[in-house]
Amino acid sequence: MRAVFEAVDGGHINQAAQLVKDLLRTTGARPQLDRVDGEPWQVHFHGSDDTLSVGWSAGCATALALAIGSTLAGRLGVCTAPNCDRVYVDASRNAVRHFCSASCRSRVKAAAFRARKAPKN
């Protein structure tokens, strides 16, 4: 799934779409209505078998397909912090997120501040 985020982040939407199509096919994602007592009906996407890993993979592949097949594809990103390998979905109002978490953002900003304040040789 990271390859999908990397493709979108690099502006390669067609490649991302093909990767998601492959995920959907290999997981056998299919919609299903489920209900827990006292809760409303919910749509879940199960895989071709009901193992936890295939079920989660199918659900994630479906979510990525919905994002890429809409105006939300640009909301998928790869953290720009050095030594971070995480991805994120940008839920900010103006789509300006660059980090996976507040701690990555703070670490990068603190390092930049220390570099600016360091004595010049």
Q: Is the pTM of this model over 0.85?
A: no
pLDDT digits (tens, 9 = 90+) for 12-21: 999 999 999 9
Rounded-to-10 torsion of CA 3, 58, 71, 80: -30
**Segment 31-58 mean pLDDT:** 88
Look at residue 64 in the predicted model and tell me its pLDDT: 96
